């Protein structure tokens, strides 16, 4: 699947610029096993890079201008690298401009280049196509001009580019896109950026994503609002318990004791975060022991928390998880990513995948009049150079 994408990207570059690209970069989307809305709360997350990617082709053009072509969008733009970057109405270009802006802010020296890219990461499905775009684009410039930016710094600069575009995201998406390893999940400590790889062995269960195929429009503002509410919550907690420095030092009792002085929403957000941080450690231990039943149970609990306390689910995602919860062959299911649409991540007993896919698709279409999309993803490597 990716071979065709790579061929197509290279051929398009050659046709557009009349020369062979010098660097080919592959940058993946990500899944997250557990630990949702935890990265910006200094907790732990358990994501992995996937085998859905953006392929970029690059070459220097020895001018001060860069031309970037998005094959799938049938769109392109030129950017004068000597000017200050500004946000535009053409959203995808802003991620690119955001990366260039970061490079300029940090004083890196580079000049014009041509770039063509194409993707098989579904957009708006919670698989972090924007992180793959930022990190792959930056990785390519880093290689082309030998800027010597370290992988973790590529992730951090990608995150800053996303902030510049307007989403105050945590580090999880960019980190997993850059640092992913085949068949491994990454446990990231989002406070220190320490990380460790764990085998992604789900035993008798297949990892399948069900894409609700909806994207509710308030995602950006609601995401930023959740982050603000958590900041308000941790400030209240810290001022009452000076020994606490972040959510990971709290237990539920700390939060419950402050219910009266928190707004109802801030209280619920804090409760979710404290419980979810604990779940990530339990889930990682369960995965290490091959105890997929416990891992799955924790995933269901996460969904419940995201839906009721964090309020980032929607009718479509709840329906998918509620339906799968009644299935003996589904050990775990939950919404994945920022929420308000996009995918659920599901662990389904091998041998039952096709039946469940068919039944759920029919019910989903019947209930919402929307076609369910299904992705069988594999855990792949992080952003890398493609060597033919």
Round to whole Å and give the CA distance between 123 and 125: 6
Q: Is 173 a catalytic residue?
A: yes
Query: Considering beta carbons, is residue 112 or 170 the nearer one to ligand GAF?
Result: 170
Query: Considering beta carbons, is residue 275 or 349 the nearer one to ligand GAF?
Result: 275
Quote the least distance from Cβ 384 to ligand GAF, whole Å. 21
Query: Considering beta carbons, is residue 66 or 383 the nearer one to ligand GAF?
Result: 383
Quote the least distance from Cβ 286 to ligand GAF, whole Å. 20
Quote the least distance from Cβ 92 to ligand GAF, whole Å. 16
- Joined together, the tokens standing for residue 117 give 């890219």
Binding site for ligand GAF (CB under 6 A): 36-37, 39-40, 128, 169-170, 172-173, 337-338
- Joined together, the tokens standing for residue 234 give 């941790």
Query: Considering beta carbons, is residue 36 or 318 the nearer one to ligand GAF?
Result: 36
Quote the least distance from Cβ 303 to ligand GAF, whole Å. 13
| Closest to 200 (Cα-Cα) out of 338, 33, 358, 66 | 33
Secondary structure element (H or E) that encloses residue 188, with its range: strand 184-189
As beta bridge partners, residue 45 has 188
CB-nearest residue to ligand GAF: 169
Which residue of the set 39, 42, 51, 173 is catalytic?
173
* Radius of gyration in angstroms for the set of CA atoms belonging to the chain, rounded to a whole number: 21
Query: Considering beta carbons, is residue 81 or 123 the nearer one to ligand GAF?
Result: 123
Phi, psi of 150 (to 5 degrees): -75, 155
Quote the least distance from Cβ 138 to ligand GAF, whole Å. 16
Round to whole Å and give the CA distance between 354 and 351: 8
| Closest to 110 (Cα-Cα) out of 148, 75, 165, 160 | 148
- Alpha carbon dihedral 356, 359, 363, 364, in 10-degree steps, equals 50
Query: Considering beta carbons, is residue 188 or 208 the nearer one to ligand GAF?
Result: 188
Q: Largest alpha-carbon pair distance within the chain? A: 67
Quote the least distance from Cβ 155 to ligand GAF, whole Å. 11
Which stretches of the chain are DSSP H helices? 2-17, 91-105, 129-144, 151-165, 172-179, 219-240, 252-256, 264-289, 292-308, 315-325, 353-368
Give yes or no for a contact between 157 and 136, defined as CB atoms under 8 angstroms apart. Answer: no
Which active-site residues does the annotation give? 173
């Amino acid at each position: 699947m990716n071979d065709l994408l790579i061929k197509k990207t290279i051929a398009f570059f050659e046709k557009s610029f009349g020369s062979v690209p010098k660097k080919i970069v592959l940058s993946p989307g990500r899944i997250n096993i557990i630990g949702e809305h935890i990265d910006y709360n200094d907790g732990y997350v358990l994501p992995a890079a996937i085998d859905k990617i953006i392929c970029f082709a690059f070459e220097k053009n020895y001018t001060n201008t860069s031309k970037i072509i998005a094959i799938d969008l049938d769109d392109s733009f030129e950017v004068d690298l000597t000017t200050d970057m500004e946000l535009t109405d053409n959203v995808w270009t802003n991620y690119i401009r955001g990366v260039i802006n970061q490079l300029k802010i940090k004083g890196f020296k580079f000049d014009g280049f041509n770039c063509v890219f194409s993707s098989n990461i579904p957009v708006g499905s919670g698989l972090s196509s924007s992180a793959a775009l930022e990190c792959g684009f930056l990785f390519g410039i880093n290689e082309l001009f030998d800027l010597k930016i370290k992988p973790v710094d590529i992730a951090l600069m990608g995150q800053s580019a996303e902030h510049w575009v307007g989403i105050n995201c945590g580090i999880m998406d960019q980190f997993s896109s850059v640092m992913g390893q085949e068949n491994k999940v990454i446990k990231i400590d989002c406070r220190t950026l320490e990380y460790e790889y764990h085998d992604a062995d789900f035993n008798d269960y297949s990892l399948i994503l069900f894409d609700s195929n909806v994207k509710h429009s308030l995602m950006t503002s609601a995401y930023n609002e959740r982050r603000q509410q958590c900041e308000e919550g941790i400030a209240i907690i810290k001022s009452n318990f000076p020994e606490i420095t972040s959510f990971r030092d709290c237990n539920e009792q700390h939060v419950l004791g402050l219910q009266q002085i928190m707004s109802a929403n801030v209280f619920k957000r804090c409760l979710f975060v404290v419980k979810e941080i604990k779940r990530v450690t339990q889930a990682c231990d369960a995965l290490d022991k091959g105890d997929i039943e416990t891992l799955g149970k924790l995933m269901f609990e996460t969904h419940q928390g995201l839906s009721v306390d964090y309020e980032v689910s929607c009718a479509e995602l709840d329906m998918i998880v509620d339906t799968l919860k009644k299935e003996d062959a589904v050990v775990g299911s939950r919404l994945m990513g920022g929420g308000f649409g996009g995918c659920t991540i599901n662990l389904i007993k091998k041998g039952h995948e096709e039946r469940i896919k068919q039944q759920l698709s029919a019910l989903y279409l019947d209930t919402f009049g929307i076609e369910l999309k299904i992705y069988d993803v594999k855990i792949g490597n992080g952003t890398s150079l493609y060597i033919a």
